[in-house]
Structure formats: structure tokens, C-alpha cells
Amino acid sequence: MKITKIDCHVLSDPDPDLSATSSAQDDIVVEIHTDEGLVGIGEADVNPWIAQACITAPGTHSMGQSLTQMLIGEDPLDVEGLWERLYVGSAMNGRRGAVINAIGALDMALHDLRGKYHGVPTYRLLGEAVRDRIVPYASLQPETENFDAYHESIVDWAVMAKRRGFTAAKASLTLSGPYAHRGLREPWSRATEVIADLRRAVGDDFALMIDVQYAFPDADTCLSVLKDWKEFDLYFVETPLPSDDVEGLHRVATEQDIPIATGEWLTTRFEFAPLIERGSLSVAQPDIGRVGGITEALRVADMAGRRGLRVIPHLWKTGISVAAAVHLSAVTAHCPFVEYLPRDLSESPLRKELLRQEPAMVDGTIPLPEAPGLGVELDRDALERFADAARALHNRKAGGS
């Protein structure tokens, strides 16, 4: 079997909001085709036009090869070998960042394709399953215009998540900092109010996580706020500081008791290594599409496991990434949850409509997939609508409007 073609689908919600802190509004979906008619599907969380360029750009020399040309004609079943070829062959194009994100989408598709070829779910080709059901946590971020509406919505959504069977949820409280949601600028005392109301609303038997999206300017500020959050029994606080601030994250992780989670933007195990080895986190959060695909996410998980850390994959895209995380969790003993953006608690049409089939939650957990590969199926009509929306958006921006 040989790879014959790679399709890149650049997708967008019909009217994305540039002030919203949500990358669920666009997507890059890749399909890898073979001469036997099998097709693998993958995605990555990165600007889709940039990812498309990374995948389709022609190569000009041996250290800056084309990702597409390195795959055409190759055996798609050699998934790990192809990862190494792509990583080495694109060295001068970028060892981190968007090139690795693009490799992640391709790697995800190759794992999907290999499972389909063998007629088994992808996880069975990754290792021994350590559980028969995956526990998702609901990832919540309402789209509102002011603090009061945000406060009310996030509490209501957490209650709805619990009613739908979730036993855990993460609230994104981006009320200040560089990624403040829709320009919110609130003092940290307001975030403390929200967390208190969230804990009262969901009760003590519910795992509560808080994502502040890099909002603290430094470790001292972060520590001064987290001391007021200790009473809420948080499962973790996500991305309190930029991941480049290894020393600051080390201080935050060791000078207070709330577990710290980070890693959503990191690419490859090499970027994770300083944070894992320095003891700067309790929970590693590789985003499977961003980190370099399932192949590299497994390497990060192994590295974290050797240090006694938990791994909880980050994702903020569609059910394709949900499926990839489910298969990773199936073979990773120290992966207690996967992030899950519920369709009915999401503002993104992409999340709601792109797929006909994806792993589904049943009574609060996700059963291990039985379908071959990742177990996802694209809705072709929705795919074309979102591709049309992306083309229209690109044309508007190119025209200066």
C-alpha cells in the first residue's frame, strides 16, 4: 500500500470573533489517501492557512523538504518511521511550532489509516489497554460580552455538565492578561468569587479545574492569588504563566499546594523536557495535534510517567482530537481524564457539525472505540460549508475588509 495524495481542508466558522479566546473557530483537517482506497483523517490546532502551507510547500534542498513529497509513495503503515522522516527532513523549516503542528495532523491521520488497514481501533496498535472506559472532563468557556454574563454562564454550564453525567469540568477564567476573553479586565478577586460559586454549584464530589490562560504576569502575583484558591480543592490550575518561564513555573509548582498543569502549546518531547525534569508541573497537557501527533504524544506521556506525573491531553478542536485523546488514554495508565468540549456546551458550529461519527459519552464515560482507526467520520456537507466560509474569510481579509 502506498500514499497517493494528501488533502488539506482549511475550515472556519462562518463569522469568527477575533476578540474571543477560542481556536475552536477554525481548523485544518488533513486526509491521507492510498492506492487501496483507504483514507486517514487528522487535525491540528494552529492557524489552518499556515498549516496548509507547511504541508504543501515544495522543498528546495535536503534539510528543507516538502512534507507532502516526503509522504507520497511511502508505506503509510510505517507510522513511526514516517514521523522521523518528516521531523528530520523538515529540519530547516522549523524544529518547533507550526511545522510540528502540521506533522501532528499528518501523524494523526496515519494512525487512523493504520487502524483502518488492520480493521482494529487505533489504540490496539499502540499498546495494551489499561482501561475499558475513558473519563472526560467538560471544558467550558462561554462566549459573553461582560463579566456578569460570563459569571452566570460558567456556573450554569458547570451545573449542566454535571447533570449530563460529567464528574469533572474545567472552567476557563480568562478575566485578565494577554488572552483576556473578549477584552475582559477584572481583578483577581472576581475570579475567586466565580470559583467559590462554581464549587458551591457542583459540590465537593466533583473534580474542578481552572484555566487562567497565561494571565499572571509573574510568579509572585500568581502565588498571591492561588493562596486564596486553596480552600476550593482544585484538581489543577492550568497555564498560570507562559511555558517559557520555567523558573517561574517551578516556583508556583513548589511554593503552594494546588497542582499546576501546562503544555498545550508545546511541540515535541524536547520542549516538555525542561518542565518535566525541573519539576515545574504536576499535569502534562500535550495537545496531540500540536505536539507532533499521537506518536510524539505517547513519548511525552512516557516521559511524564517516568517522573510520576499525570498526563491529561489538551484539545480545543473537534471530535477528531477527542478521538485521538481517547485512544492515547486507553493505553496510558497515568491519564485519568481527557478534555472534552461538549457539542451542546460549545459556541462553535465546527465542533457541533463537522463529524457524523465520533466517540460519544455514555453515562459519564466514553467506552473504548470499536470502529477501525480513530472511529471518526466527516460530514462532507458540513466540511464544504466550513471550507466555503474559510475561503470567504480569506477573500475578505485579502481585500482589506
pLDDT tens per residue across all 401 residues of the chain? 999 999 999 999 988 877 777 788 899 999 999 999 999 999 999 999 999 999 999 999 988 999 999 999 999 999 999 999 999 999 999 889 999 999 999 999 999 999 999 999 999 999 999 999 999 999 998 877 789 999 999 999 999 999 999 999 999 998 888 877 777 788 888 999 999 999 999 999 999 999 999 999 999 999 999 999 999 999 999 999 999 999 999 999 999 999 999 999 999 999 999 999 988 899 999 999 999 999 999 999 999 999 999 999 999 899 999 999 999 999 999 999 999 987 877 778 999 999 999 998 999 999 999 999 999 999 999 999 999 999 998 887 666 55
Tell me the backbone φ, ψ of residue 327, rounded to 5 degrees: -70, -35
The confidence score (pLDDT) of residue 348 equals: 86
Euclidean distance between CA atoms 136 and 128, whole angstroms: 20
pTM: 0.95
11 in helix, strand or coil?
Answer: strand
Euclidean distance between CA atoms 320 and 128, whole angstroms: 22
Q: Evaluate whether 95 touches 89 at the Cβ level (below 8 Å).
A: no
End-to-end distance of the chain based on CA atoms, in angstroms? 46
The confidence score (pLDDT) of residue 316 equals: 87
The confidence score (pLDDT) of residue 267 equals: 97
